[in-house]
Each structure stands twice: as C-alpha cells, then as structure tokens.
C-alpha cells in the first residue's frame, strides 16, 4: 500500500500498525520498504534479470555466518 497507493495509508492503517509495532519499528519497516522498492526500480531501469550481474555468491547479510 505504501508504495502503490500512498494515499491509502490513512489514520486507520497507522492505528492498525501501532497495534502491533512501536513507532521506531514502523519507521524501520518504512525504511526497509523504501530501500527495497528503490533497489527494484534501479534494477528495472538497468533491465537486469535475476542472477545476471556478476557478484560474490556469499555477499550480503546472509554471509554473516561464521566460517569454519
């Protein structure tokens, strides 16, 4: 909703979110949505398909596991 219909995020939506999340958590969720949406738009402008860009397969947050 926040991405596709920002006007739809009325007081009712915020009240429902606040039943489950604190204000800092709502801000963090919004930041994650904005970052993810922005990344997807950039990838779309580059016309890149899944796994088309070279990179380190273990890069990213998931790679934080200890190495044996």
Helix axes 11-20, 23-46, angle to 10 degrees: 110
Q: Name the token pair of 35.
A: 């970052």
**pLDDT for position 20:** 96
Q: Where residue 67 falls among pLDDT bands split at 50, 70, 90?
A: low
Q: What is the pTM of this model?
A: 0.59
pLDDT over threshold 70, residue 58: no
Asked if 17 and 26 touch (Cβ cutoff 8 Å), the reply is yes
Q: Check whether 44 has a pLDDT greater than 80.
A: yes
Between 42 and 25, whose confidence is greater? 25
As given in the structure block, the two tokens for residue 17 are: 């979110």
Read off φ and ψ for residue 18, nearest 5 degrees: -70, -15
- Residue 68: pLDDT above 60? no
């Amino acid at each position: 909703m926040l991405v596709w219909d920002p006007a739809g995020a009325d007081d009712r939506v915020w009240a429902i979110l606040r039943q489950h999340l604190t204000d800092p958590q709502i801000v963090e969720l919004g930041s994650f949505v904005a970052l993810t949406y922005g990344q997807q738009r950039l990838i779309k402008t580059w016309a890149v398909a899944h796994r088309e860009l070279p990179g380190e397969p273990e890069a990213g947050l998931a790679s934080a596991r200890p190495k044996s």
